[in-house]
Amino acid sequence: MQARQAAILTEQAAVADEGNEERYNELQAEFDTLTTDIDTAETRATQIAANKALVVEREARAAKIVTKPLALVSNGRVEVSNENRAMFPTMGDQALEIYFRAKNNGRNKMGGVYEARASHGYNESSDDQGGMLVQEDLSIEMATEAIDGDTGILSRMSRQDLSGNSLKIVRPVDYDFSSASNGVGQVYWVGEAGAITPSKGKTEARRYELKKAGMILPITDDLLADSAAMGSFINAEVPGKLNRSMVNKAINGNDPATMSGILHANALIEVPKEGSQDSDTVVFENVLKMYSRMLPSSLSRAEWLISGDVMLQLQQMNLAVGTGGLPVFLPPGMAAAAPNGALLGRPITITQFCPKLGDKGDMIFADLSKYKLARKVGEEINVAVSIHFYFDTMENAFRFYVRVDGAVYPSQAYTPANGGSTVSPFVTLAERT
């Protein structure tokens, strides 16, 4: 259009010299029309650019809210990065913010009347499904009980951050130290001018591929709108639930779709029961033999993971001395650094995920740093919400998930140079029936 205006100006100058007033007026009218069209196009372009910038800004804010990682820590709390700490002090706050963004600050209605349908999940009609969280002019306190004596099991594992979705670790096969060719190669002693014989070792590869563990919580519009404690409830419960699931799989996992469990690892050493040992018991000989099979370099980090009903066995355990005996278990207070006491100088951790008394694994002597926990770098708990998943019952589907994999990374037990009993960073007690 600008080019046409330039041509009009040239033609106008010519017709003016000729005295053709009619043609001159026609050209002027066309010029004015083009000027109006150009102004309109520029205004629209400015408006479109401003709208695009607004959309980009809103999408960036929404993406920041939905995908911002929150750190899962051992005591069930959730932390956010320093840059967003003021915006979302808890995961509950973040989840509720996602909800209100998704709802555009409104609530779904069907013709102005809520349809009476059964709820898929948390709602305020039933006390045991969230109704007791609704404010009734009283102070609401969130109280949760932890069954495990120590929830920091995951924090003592060896964490490996992944930039992609999988990790391959290659290491020498150096498990049999009784063999001269163990590991990266063989060492030769030679005299002056002696030749060293070439040698080579073997390597092995272990692959970690991220798996997903998650949960969906359906929560009604009414409960979200009326409950001041819902954010605290989410913040208190969700991280702990995911944490406990990962601890369970780290100990018992035996499925390619989950983490690999300690009790199914090739490196696990299983100490048999004593010949005359009663069913469903733990005796001091069991403890001594388990301790003797621990990898010596792991002793300073090793801990006892036990089922709760094993504790009574330890408290009653004695070392026979003549006609009497000495207590074996060191209770709390006599070992301040061990929250649940100590056994042969190593701390005790009670966990509900060890099998019950008498079953294999009810007592595990473990160096948890030899369990590799692979996580997506910069990603802890992913949070998202859908207002459409349970649209018919006016519920919001909150989705939480983590991506993780884990396994014991020695692939087998070690044979010492003297050819004695094998040792491992993971030792358990066999079934006693």
DSSP string, 368-407: GGGEEEEEETT-SBEEEEEEEEEGGGTEEEEEEEEEEEEE
Cβ–Cβ under 8 Å, residues 168 and 374: no
Any idea what the Cα angle at residue 307 is, between residues 303 and 308, rounded to 5°? 110
Quickly tell me which residue has 């692979």 as its tokens: 374
Residue 143 is predicted with a pLDDT of: 41
Cβ–Cβ under 8 Å, residues 70 and 80: yes
What is the spatial distance between Cα 399 and Cα 401, in angstroms, rounded to a whole number? 7
Residue 111: left (phi > 0), alpha (psi -120 to 50), or beta?
A: left
Choose the weakest-confidence range: 165-169, 227-231, 238-242, 358-362: 227-231
Residue 170 is predicted with a pLDDT of: 85
CB-based burial label for 233 (10 Å; 0-12, 13-18, 19+): buried
Query: pLDDT tens-digit profile of 45-65?
Result: 888 887 787 677 666 655 544
- Around Cβ 40, how many Cβ atoms within 10 Å? 10
Task: Name the token pair of 421.
Answer: 């009993």
Would you say the pTM of this structure is higher than 0.75?
Answer: no
**Range with top average pLDDT, 117-121, 132-136, 264-268:** 264-268
Q: What are phi and psi of 44, to 5 degrees?
A: -65, -40
**Range with top average pLDDT, 2-16, 354-368, 392-406:** 354-368
Q: Mean pLDDT of all residues in the chain? A: 77
Q: Give 294's DSSP letter.
A: B
Please list, in sequence order, all residues whose beta carbon lies within 8 angstroms of the beta carbon of residue 180, skipping any fewer than 6 positions away.
186, 187
Quickly tell me which residue has 């010949």 as its tokens: 275
Cβ–Cβ under 8 Å, residues 85 and 69: no
